[in-house]
């Protein structure tokens, strides 16, 4: 089992979880709390002159949950999640057809990249958990832009950039800086042109340091 696919494993094998049906997963998706301004982020980057931006979601969560949570925001064919096969008679989960977790996310990303014809150095990947480690290491090696959006130490030490914000628009900043080579003033103007004022923008470099006392050698007296 790949890290990040724990829920899928339980849904398939645990007696308590096997009662879950497709409609239950759709209902869960409706209750997911999303960051603010995801549609505004997509519009901002899609409006960049001379650029074509494609927005995809790769997640180990069940496809039904993601599609329900992002309904009307991200097209279903732009969502790559865990896909189940259901029993026709009972609706019970019968098997797992695909799990984009761990190395599975790398495979999913490479499949999308080949289909879209996008070079690695034009990919911006955003992640928030330890299941994103493999794909971030892969993209870093290939020259892509990796962005952490949580304080999870497993990915903040790997990602090229870290953005901590309640608003999804914050992700646009490293994209515009790294991929578009925009200056801060131009980035601020772009946000304002789309009706969003960049109120605070603090860049912080943090060194986390711990020291351990050196044990003093004991002396033995005869």
Angle at 170 between CA 196 and CA 172, to 5 degrees: 90
Res 5: pLDDT = 81
Q: List, in order, residues 6 or more apart from 130 with CB less than 8 Å away.
A: 3, 4, 152, 154, 155
pTM above 0.85, yes or no: yes
Q: Are 149 and 164 a contacting pair, CB within 8 Å?
A: yes
pLDDT tens for each residue of 28-49:
999 999 999 999 999 999 888 8
Per-residue model confidence as pLDDT tens digits over 171-203: 999 999 999 999 999 999 999 998 998 888 877
Q: Which residues contact 134 (CB under 8 A, 6 or more apart)?
A: 102, 103, 105, 106
Task: Give residue 77's pLDDT.
Answer: 96
% of the chain with per-residue pLDDT over 90: 70
Q: Say what the alpha-carbon torsion angle 35, 201, 161, 132 is, to the nearest 10 degrees.
A: -20
Asked if 147 contacts 126 with a C-beta cutoff of 8 angstroms, the reply is yes
Domain limits, the chain:
6-193
The domain defined by 6-193 carries CATH number 3.40.50.1000: yes
Q: In this model, does residue 218 exceed pLDDT 70?
A: no
Instruction: Note the pLDDT of residue 220.
Output: 59
Asked whether 84 and 96 are in contact (CB, 8 A), the reply is yes
Tell whether the model's pLDDT for residue 206 goes beyond 60.
no
Tell whether the model's pLDDT for residue 87 goes beyond 80.
Answer: yes
Least confident of 64-78, 133-147, 150-164, 206-220: 206-220
């Amino acid at each position: 089992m790949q890290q990040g696919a724990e829920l899928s494993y339980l849904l398939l094998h645990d007696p308590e979880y096997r009662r879950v049906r497709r409609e239950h997963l759709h209902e869960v998706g409706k209750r997911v709390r999303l960051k603010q301004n995801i549609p505004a982020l997509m519009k901002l980057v899609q409006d960049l002159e001379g650029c074509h931006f494609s927005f995809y979601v790769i997640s180990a969560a069940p496809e039904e949950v993601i599609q329900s949570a992002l309904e009307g925001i991200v097209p279903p064919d732009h969502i790559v999640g865990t896909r189940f096969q259901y029993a026709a008679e009972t609706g019970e989960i019968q098997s797992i057809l695909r799990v984009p977790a761990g190395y599975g996310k790398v495979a999913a990303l490479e499949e999308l990249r080949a289909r879209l014809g996008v070079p690695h150095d034009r990919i911006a990947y955003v992640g928030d958990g330890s299941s994103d480690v493999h794909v971030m290491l892969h993209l870093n090696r290939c020259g892509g832009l990796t962005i952490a959006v949580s304080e999870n130490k497993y990915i903040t030490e790997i990602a090229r950039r870290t953005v901590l914000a309640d608003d999804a628009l914050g992700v646009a900043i490293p994209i515009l800086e790294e991929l578009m080579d925009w200056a801060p003033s131009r980035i601020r103007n772009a946000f304002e042109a789309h009706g969003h004022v960049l109120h605070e923008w603090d860049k912080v470099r943090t060194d986390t340091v711990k020291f351990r006392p050196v044990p003093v050698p004991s002396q033995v007296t005869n």
